[in-house]
Amino acid sequence: MTARTATHRLQVATALHQFIDREVLPGTGVSPAKFWKGFDAIVAELAPKNIALLAERERLQTELDAWHTAHPGPITTGDLSSPTDMSAYRAFLEQIGYLVPNPKKVRISTAKVDAELAVQAGPQLVVPVLNARYALNAANARWGSLYDALYGTDAISEAKGCEKVGKKGYNPKRGAKVIEYARHVLDRTAPLRKGSHLDSVGYRIKDGKLAVKLADGSHTSLQHHAQLVGYQGEAKAPSSVLLQHNGLHLDLQINRATPIGAADPAGVSDLVLEAALSTIIDLEDSVAVVDADDKVLAYRNWLGLLQGTLTEQVSKGDKTFTRGLNPDRVYTPPSGKGKKVTLHGRALMFVRNVGHLMTNPAILYTDKAGVTREIPEGILDAVVTTTIAMHDLKRTAKDGIRNSRKGSVYIVKPKMHGPAEVAFAAELFSRVEKMLGLADSTVKLGIMDEERRTSVNLKACIEAASSRVAFINTGFLDRTGDEMHSAMQAGPMIRKGDMKSSAWIAAYERNNVLVGLSCGLAGRAQIGKGMWAMPDLMKAMLEQKIAHPRAGANTAWVPSPTGATLHALHYHQLLVSAVQKEMEKINADKERDSLLTGLLTIPVTATPNWSETEKQQELDNNAQGILGYVVRWIDQGVGCSKVPDIHNIGLMEDRATLRISSQHMANWLHHGVVTADQVRQTFERMAAVVDGQNTGDPLYQPMAGHFDTSMAYQAACDLVFKGLAQPSGYTEPLLHGWRLKVKAAAQAVVPAG
């Protein structure tokens, strides 16, 4: 039984109440009395609006289900007499209010946005807030060793004696390949007037310029002297040379006392890249947070990050050390005189709140009808995470570690369906600002374009929060899940692997950038792209993820600090602001019709004539992925991890990938592509596979042979067999319910005292 503290009409879990009163509010200037009175008023006024928005989702889904049931199959674009012609479909969507009028001209007015979002282009990390070590690593991933990233991944081949482990641990042959690669990076980003960095034998600062000695005894300098930003150490023998290219910094580190530097003719020991400009501290898809205890842990880590006090004990080999947030980086200007050059040592942090759907038992409230309800979790997150951010807002440059130097709070809001829901988020943030005494639009909004109704109405969504938008980002995974659920009754979905080449995906990715640029996001906000989900396949990432900056996105998600360091190279390959400038010449409104046709092209097939082998392959892939993720979520409370797929390739899985797999299986089951018996047999077989993949985990509880008692296994099955009934196909309601059962069962067996 959760202990609760009554305050106004709220019944607050005592652990959360004490955390806010004792840890959050001191130092904010907001008294507990003012906070709880204001919080109560926000819940009383906005919770009913939240409920109404969810009811509207259900109404629209009911309309979609009825229409697709009456008009099954793909929607055509040429036969005007067809009941499934695109024009008829669009007219239907407009009639029911799913598709709203496209605003004529929208320009965001967002102010006080930090350079990491408004000006610079570079990688972005997403990290679960519950894991303090991961959160610190992500925040510190603003700077990353290119040497380490290349040496430790498949970016450098292990062929021809270049294995990662040599006779003494370090393989000098592989190291030479890494150094050569890094020197080529320098030649591309900071070219010399003559010669190559490959031939450098010495670096120093002379007369405010970089002087480079080459192996033939000659001297040279940078082609563009302005690329030298500063240095550390002595000018005649610097320990660090700071360069700039395409708005990103490169730190050439020189240390002959290290094994690498001692063997290098120029004494270069590393090339450190400015990498993760921003990171999203996640309260949503990557965490398993189901009650007040989980919420307090999550909020406490967010508080520690913004106060600069979060630390974690880390053990590597026989050494243990304390990890905290990195300090800022300080350099001497090239002239050797004047004000020091200070660069932010950490990624700019967003916090991702939960969406509008879920409620949380951390706080109960009584509505006007006298009914006791759980608080909408998005309202809880907005109030508490913004209040915590006041600690950062009150800091000055003299206080050291700061997040926003512009005085903003950055909140990513996921899973919003259309402009009315974006407007509600803006209203919620406005109410929180007034409650806390903050200026209007202090809270900046990151809009995840990951639901179909947001995609087709993106311009109207941006208009609904035009003074707050600091970020729009495509979320291919959730967007695919919503595509499947929205058109569940239209027919059998194409195979998962074929989705990326479907018409709606191409239109979706292009529409996001063009609409963002037409609304004035260039130079004011981020336009982002989705995750590279294969952290072990960095060579492939280097080959493929250049597509994101080429598309005009000034950020894209990566799965690790190492991934951020390597993805940073793509932003040196081209200048995203120049790409955006060219794309701004495109009239997005003129493309609106063709893009909307693409966005509304449903990925179903009229001929589901896959072979039995192909059907089973799809079932195996989906079931294995579901079980591999769910078993950790339910039994251990792990919301995001590297989960081996059916081919034992590690994939970063979260609830978005789970939504796709479960909805896809539910769709095929509903349309008779597969049978219930096939699905059950597949789950049972794949449970044994997943058990085998987790044999090294001492906390793992096997599912095979325990189908009637394993709550994780039952939760996985529910996601498919009850998939049609889940709101928008989301997995959270079932996951939360089963996780709460597991936690209750664990508490029941703990001996008293």
Last residue of a domain, one of 274, 293, 317: 274
DSSP-assigned letter for residue 553: -
pTM exceeding 0.85: yes
716, 632 contact by CB (below 8 A): no
Structure confidence by residue, pLDDT tens digits, 641-698: 788 888 888 888 889 999 999 999 999 999 999 999 999 999 999 999 999 999 999 9
Instruction: Return the HEC string of 36-82.
Output: HHHHHHHHHHHHHHHHHHHHHHHHHHHHHHHHHHHCCCCCECCCCCC
Per residue in 556-571, pLDDT (tens digit) is 999 999 999 999 999 9
CA separation for the pair 241, 248 (Å, rounded): 14
Per-residue pLDDT, averaged over 76-96, amounts to: 80
pLDDT on residue 750: 61
Residue 113 neighbours by CB under 8 Å, 6+ apart: 406, 408, 444, 470, 524, 525
Domain boundary among 225, 240, 274: 274
10 is a domain residue: no
Helix (H) or strand (E) holding 361: strand 359-366
414 and 441 assigned to the same domain: yes
pLDDT at 82: 54
Which of 392, 654, 691, 718 is flagged as catalytic? 654
Q: Is the pLDDT of residue 79 over 70?
A: no
Using one digit for the tens of pLDDT, what is the confidence trace for 542-560? 999 999 999 999 999 999 9
User: What's the domain range around 377?
Assistant: 115-144+278-599
Greatest alpha-carbon span in the chain: 86
Q: Is 60 exceeded by the pLDDT of residue 418?
A: yes
* Rounded-to-integer distance, Cα 66 and Cα 69, Å: 5
What single DSSP character describes residue 725?
G
What is the spatial distance between Cα 49 and Cα 487, in angstroms, rounded to a whole number? 26
3-state SS class at 716: helix
Q: Closest Cα to residue 248, out of 583, 575, 582?
A: 575
What is the rounded average pLDDT of the residues 418-427?
Answer: 98
Cβ-contact 123, 555 below 8 angstroms: yes
Check if 654 is active-site: yes
Contacts of 731 (CB under 8 A, 6+ apart): 655, 658, 659, 662, 719
Percent of the chain at pLDDT > 90 equals 92
Q: What is the pLDDT of residues 87-105, one digit of tens each?
A: 999 999 999 999 999 999 9
Helix, strand, or coil (residue 561): helix
Catalytic residue among 142, 329, 346, 352: 352
pLDDT tens column, 290-318: 999 999 999 999 999 999 999 998 888 78
**Whether residues 293 and 431 fall in one domain:** yes
Output the six-digit token pair for 664: 């896809």
CA separation for the pair 706, 212 (Å, rounded): 67
Query: Which structure tokens are listed for 582?
Result: 């060219």
Q: Beta partners for 446? A: 412, 471
Angle at 554 between CA 597 and CA 101, to 5 degrees: 30
pLDDT-derived band at 78, boundaries 50, 70, 90: low
CB atoms within 10 A of CB 577: 16
> What is the mean predicted confidence (pLDDT) over 124-149?
97
Residue 33 lies in a domain: no
The rounded mean pLDDT for the chain is 96
- State the pLDDT at residue 81: 47
Q: 635 and 714 share a domain?
A: yes
Residues 268 and 286 in one domain: no
Measured CA to CA in angstroms, residue 298 lies from 127, 149, 379, 385, 549 at distances of: 12, 29, 15, 10, 32
Residues 186, 287, single domain; the answer is: no
Cα(574)–Cα(469) distance, rounded to whole angstroms? 25
Q: What is the three-class DSSP state of 343? A: strand
Report how many domains make up the chain: 3
- Answer yes or no: do 456 and 338 share one domain: yes
* Token reading at 619: 């079932």
At 493, the amino acid letter reads M
The reply to whether 34 falls in a domain is: no
Lowest mean pLDDT among 79-93, 218-232, 399-413: 79-93
Per the CB < 8 A criterion, the answer to whether 102 and 459 are in contact is: yes
pLDDT at 620: 97
Whether residue 430 lies inside any domain: the answer is: yes
433 and 319 in one domain? yes
Q: Which CATH number does the domain housing residue 258 bear?
A: 2.170.170.11
CA distance 355 to 185: 41
The rounded distance, in Å, linking the Cα atoms of 44 and 40 is 6
| Domain co-membership, 186 together with 286 | no
- Look-up: residue for tokens 């400015």? 274
595 and 620, same domain (yes or no): no
Give the model's pLDDT for residue 84.
72
Residues 181 and 296 in one domain: no
The 8-class DSSP code of residue 192 comes to B
Q: What is the pLDDT of residue 749?
A: 75
Query: Among residues 567, 599, 631, which one ends one of the domains?
Result: 599
Q: Answer whether 703's CB lies under 8 Å from 676's CB.
A: no
Residue 397 lies in a domain: yes
Residues 232 and 285 placed together within one structural domain of the fold: no
Mean pLDDT of 527-536: 95
- Residue pLDDT, tens place only, 347-382: 999 999 999 999 999 999 999 999 999 999 999 999
Q: How confident is the model at residue 167 (pLDDT cuts 50, 70, 90)?
A: low
On whether both 616 and 672 belong to a single domain, the answer is: yes
Decide if 7 is inside a domain.
Answer: no
Q: How far is CA 440 from CA 423, 469, 666, in A?
A: 15, 13, 44
Q: Determine, yes or no, domain membership for 131.
A: yes
The token pair at 378 is: 């998005």
Strand-strand pairing, 124-128 and 228-234: unpaired
- Is the Cβ–Cβ distance between 240 and 233 less than 8 Å? yes
- pLDDT for the residue numbered 80: 46
If you search the block for the tokens 């109405």, which residue do you land on?
457
Q: What is the CATH number of the domain that holds 659?
A: 1.20.1220.12
Across the range 137-159, mean pLDDT stands at: 98
Please classify residue 590 by burial: count the beta carbons closer than 10 Å to its beta carbon, then call 0-12 exposed, 13-18 middle and 19+ buried.
exposed
Q: Flag whether 4 is in a domain.
A: no
Is residue 556 within a helix (H) or strand (E), and if so which, with residue range? strand 555-558
Torsion of CA 467, 471, 472, 475, to 10 degrees: -140
Question: How many CA atoms lie within 13 Å of 93's alpha carbon, on the beta-carbon side?
Answer: 23
Whether pLDDT at 718 is above 60: yes
Closest CA to 468 of 446, 449, 436: 446
